[in-house]
Amino acid sequence: MELNQLNMPLLEKLFSASITFREVPTEKLGELGRSVMEMLGVAPYFPIPLYVLHTCNRVEVYAWDVPQPIVHAVLSRYGGYADRVVVRRGTEAALHLLEVAAGLDSMLIGETDILGQMEEAFDSQVKSHVTRDLLKVVVERAIRFGKMVRTNTNISRGPRGLGSLSIIYVKETMGDLSNLSIGIIGAGSVGQGLAKELKDEGARRIYILNRTFEKAKEIAERIGATAMPLNRESIDECLKKCDVVFATATSFEPIIKEVPPNHKVRLIVDLGVPMNVSNNLPVKVVRLDDLKPIADRYNSERLQEIQKVKAMALEEVENIERALARRAVEIELGEYMRLVALISQEEGRRAGANASLAANSAAKRAVLPLIEALKKHAESGNIETVMQILNDAKRLMKIPQASTS
């Protein structure tokens, strides 16, 4: 079935605004990311849920049931590049998010870094109550889909992310990793993946720098590396000790602004979000664009998997609509059950204190079969009818007045 043939009344409320390495140079994405990420500071007070995804290759905003003034507010965050933002709605936005999670929209098709970055953003924004309600269901399902695709297809066969490509670049440029001292700045999902892969590829001397020293220590102990705090002094020390330094931190200001006069470092790989390394340093700095020729080599091997993943994504869009229908009914039923509890408590009070608990239990038992039936009807595509039934039932329900005695 074609996308435009699908009837998805709930997913039609999904909105996305996206700008990627295809629309603007990667160094500009960092500037845009700063502006868009500032929305998270006020997002808990927004009337709508948001999910913001900022990586080295994209700056995207997903929102639910968006009024036009909010659309303008979101697009204004992209500043002078607002005319390059790709706006999607409904099933098109859902399909795009699924393809992002599957790695189809990445520089390296099928890369896995994006999945870790999506999970980190999701966990943080759910905790701060930014990503919530039905939007939470959509993002959660997309992350689950990304994992399923990589298990059931060969879309990620070979190098697994930009970290893998950068390791290939270093090996092709500088030779055997076992002869090199290597530093990693940042212990997020990209930094952790790099550390493990470097160890597996034969690196013997690895230094891990992170703002949270305990996290750096935990990873270092796991792979036999050396943990260091992340500050100006330790960065200088790393540049003096290491032949190669990978910068993978999330920081809106460059972390490596200069190199000390007696530095040992010969190559710095910048995988940060946004760029971690200043321009015009006296050593070679590898940017994302430098990795594209290597990505293209492996992308050609993965082309045959793309159509398979796209077909799976189209099917998953329908699954998401069903999950949304179930969740929407659950939310509405929560309010309905609150009203049932009020009535049962009042009836129990009238019958005597000992009868209150029994009345509440009996009411729930009587309503539960109806609840499950309504959820199944919603999942079958009858969400609008089910919601109308619930609204009618609440309107007809006689709510007891609070006792004045």
Q: Is 186 assigned to a binding site?
A: yes
C-alpha span between 369 and 378 (Å, rounded): 14
Q: Is 92 assigned to a binding site?
A: no
Nearest to 104 by CA among 291, 279, 305, 256: 305
Q: What are phi and psi of 140, to 5 degrees?
A: -60, -45
Q: Cβ contacts of residue 381 below 8 Å, gap of 6+?
A: 7, 325
Q: Which residues pair with 55 in a beta bridge?
A: 58
Q: Is 113 assigned to a binding site?
A: yes
Q: Is 227 assigned to a binding site?
A: no
Q: Is 172 assigned to a binding site?
A: no
Q: Look at residue 292 and give its three-state secondary structure.
A: helix
Q: Which of 56, 61, 285, 333 is catalytic?
A: 56
Q: Is 329 assigned to a binding site?
A: no
Residue where the block lists tokens 């966990």: 123
CA distances from 398 to 67, 342, 346, 394 (A): 34, 10, 11, 8
Number of alpha carbons in the 13 Å side-chain half-sphere of residue 399 = 12
Q: Is 56 assigned to a binding site?
A: yes
Q: Is 190 assigned to a binding site?
A: yes
Residue where the block lists tokens 């930094």: 191
Q: Is 401 assigned to a binding site?
A: no
Which amino acid belongs to residue 33?
G
- Crossing angle (nearest 10°) for helices 288-351 and 383-396: 30
Nearest to 186 by CA among 128, 240, 116: 116
Maximum C-alpha span of the chain: 87
Active site residue 56: yes
Q: Is 187 assigned to a binding site?
A: yes
- Length of the chain in terms of residues written: 405
DSSP 382: I
Q: Is 112 assigned to a binding site?
A: yes
Q: Look at residue 81 and give its three-state secondary structure.
A: helix
Q: Is 360 assigned to a binding site?
A: no
C-alpha span between 149 and 129 (Å, rounded): 28
Q: Is 279 assigned to a binding site?
A: no
Query: Under a CB-based contact definition with an 8 Å cutoff, are residues 273 and 29 in contact?
Result: no
Q: Cβ contacts of residue 392 below 8 Å, gap of 6+?
A: none
Q: What angle is formed at CA 196 by the lines to CA 195 and CA 197, rounded to 5 degrees?
A: 95
C-alpha span between 16 and 135 (Å, rounded): 11
C-alpha span between 291 and 285 (Å, rounded): 12
List residues forming the annotated binding site for substrate.
55-58, 106, 111-113, 117
List residues forming the annotated binding site.
55-58, 106, 111-113, 117, 186-191
List residues forming the annotated binding site for NADP(+).
186-191
The residues that are catalytic are 56
